[in-house]
Amino acid sequence: MENKKVLIVDDQNGIRILLMEVFSSEGYHTFQAPNGKIALEIVNNDKPDLVLLDMKIPGMDGLEILKHIKEIDPDIKVIMMTAYGELDMIKEATDLGALMHFTKPFDIDEMRVAVNMQLRNGTANKCS
């Protein structure tokens, strides 16, 4: 089975490093981006299976990045991360195709379980 690819998009370096360590140790091929421009380059070039996307990023915000990701590939799974309980933004993200969201500070184990469920669902049949 080929390694699934996870892209972590957050302007906070510490969060990117933490999530990369967690998901690398889970066996995923991880990418990171501090902003929307780099995130979309990675989406175009590397076609991640799942994106962990911060809602509040300077420049292009999470909703804008989410719209672009879905235009490039509607099948890419996206989980939003937010430090703000802005229900209207969360609802809009869900309407745009985000699967779920985590509010910071999030429980890293809950996020790990959620990502594993998303990426390992349906892949069991594909193993030969």
> Is 128 inside any structural domain?
no
> Is 126 inside any structural domain?
no
List strands edge to edge, sheet with 5-9. 29-33, 5-9, 50-54, 77-82, 100-103
Task: Tabulate helix, strand, coil % of the chain (nearest 5).
Answer: 45, 20, 35
> Is 17 inside any structural domain?
yes
Percent of the chain with pLDDT over 70: 91
The pLDDT assigned to 121 comes to 76
Phi, psi of 84 (to 5 degrees): -120, 140
Among 49-53, 94-98, 124-128, which stretch is predicted with the lowest mean pLDDT?
Answer: 124-128
> Is 125 inside any structural domain?
no
The pLDDT assigned to 2 comes to 66
Residue 42 sits in which domain range?
5-120
Distance CA 62, CA 57 (A): 6
The pLDDT assigned to 87 comes to 75
Work out how many domains the chain is built from and give that number.
1
Distance CA 13, CA 56 (A): 14
Where are the extended beta strands (E) located within the chain?
A: 5-9, 29-33, 50-54, 77-82, 100-103
**pTM for the full predicted model:** 0.92
Distance CA 11, CA 113 (A): 23
> Is 15 inside any structural domain?
yes
pLDDT higher than 80, residue 84? no
The pLDDT assigned to 112 comes to 97
CATH number at residue 25: 3.40.50.2300
Residue 28 and residue 6 in contact, taking contact as beta carbons nearer than 8 Å: yes
